[in-house]
Structure 1
């Protein structure tokens, strides 16, 4: 079974057996409704498209595919608009969860999120900023003040690096790596993984300006972003970021009502991912850039430490270098019932 197929089952299992119950604290009845919706989709794919569960993957979650499924529920199963919206909401919730765990799946979620609810039920706003909205946001800080300059640089840096908020706040000056012709940022991310993000020339200029004003004589071990308490520089906390982002987000929404309400740091990560996707950059590159975080379920499958694996390397690995893993994958073939039990759908 292919690597991305295994990833699908891992995400599905975690969503149904952990996220809904533990993280969202849903009742058994509510969790059962989500499970039922995904089981209905599974049955539709098997009966209507001849796609068995052991062949199911994220390709089954295209906008057109989900819309066809909803039309099947409406016309064949005679579901009401309210029921259709519940099924659609469950699928969107699953895909949103997947996109938050794996940014490579953000386009899949956004594609399905664009399906309107039946009978004009309002859909939640997709949380990313357009290029015009980013320009508006970056124009708001008061550049004549120290905090204004800090806030603007933080927002620009968050967007250009695509880093998670804690990854940004954990950065130290020694994470800025300067080469002869380039500057990179070393980011320590989820799963104890390290990635290197190159900075564009314009971002380097913003960085140099920020360093000149905020790190004139600091050691290389100092935090890149800090606050001052009792005359001491301490690591900036997420609450500080939330505070100034909400302030600028409110002003941006007042200037343009299309600007999403409730600005938060993760929107910058979503925004750079969507901008890259719209420019035609391969999903595999976006995954590498963002530091894709896989779910490690070693009893099923051991993920490689590589962020991006080319087709050539995959073919080599499948023929020799990951022998035991390949054998385990082959053993999954035909074991649909085992997969159903593993994912919590049986």
Structure 2
């Protein structure tokens, strides 16, 4: 922790994540991790643009012009949605306000950062989810003959089962699993809320097989469930990479995948839509997914065209033609490493 504190920026970043966010702002671990991910992405972008290492970047390297180019790169190069772009900007707004108090000599340029507006339209981005054949295609594209393949199959099976946020899955410890009937997992959600979620018995077997391969530990029940090849906890970046790989492979058999922008949160969307299509009521789905309210869940009901058709039949049964009708409906330094360990 000494190398990354050689600059004013490094020291400020350490205080921002160690003291300001968790203590003064009282932010949840999930929000802090999201801010951390934004910081890593921005530091890498700034280092590449200035052709300097992350370790020697300073406060003056954070300015509105560079942040604007960074936000554009998120949308153009990484394919981020407007909502994700705005979430990244919100994190940088918070950091810039913190820097103004720490380094008032840079107030003018930092206020320009705070003044960067959010992009309109983030709430109207269509919900991207996978249809049943596409889910099957993604799972079948995983080579289960290798240890990493078996881990990935268990990972994505669990994500589809639970509709959990990716960080909720990555935070799972062995003690959070109940792998005998009734099989379930304990998820730690936003606001430190805990919820129980049922899982298929087959998924429980996959998890049992996975944790049986873990290296011996002094506290086996506290060990993370999903580990990388080095035995360290799997990261959000790792899950995104793996999903992209399997989606690309599955697209050869399911061409509709090629037209979709699939990311880990899409699996959550998929679970929500399929639960609703199966007739599970909105309140249950809302609790299942750990939503803050029913309005959040309702967007999934608005997203699926089949559910809209079914709703139409229920409301106007005599108007919609029956099935028998013949009608036709026509660079990483120690600073980044430290951030990753938060």
Bigger relative CO (Cα 8 Å, ≥ 6 apart):
1
Query: TM-score by structure 1 length?
Result: 0.48
Query: TM-score by structure 2 length?
Result: 0.49
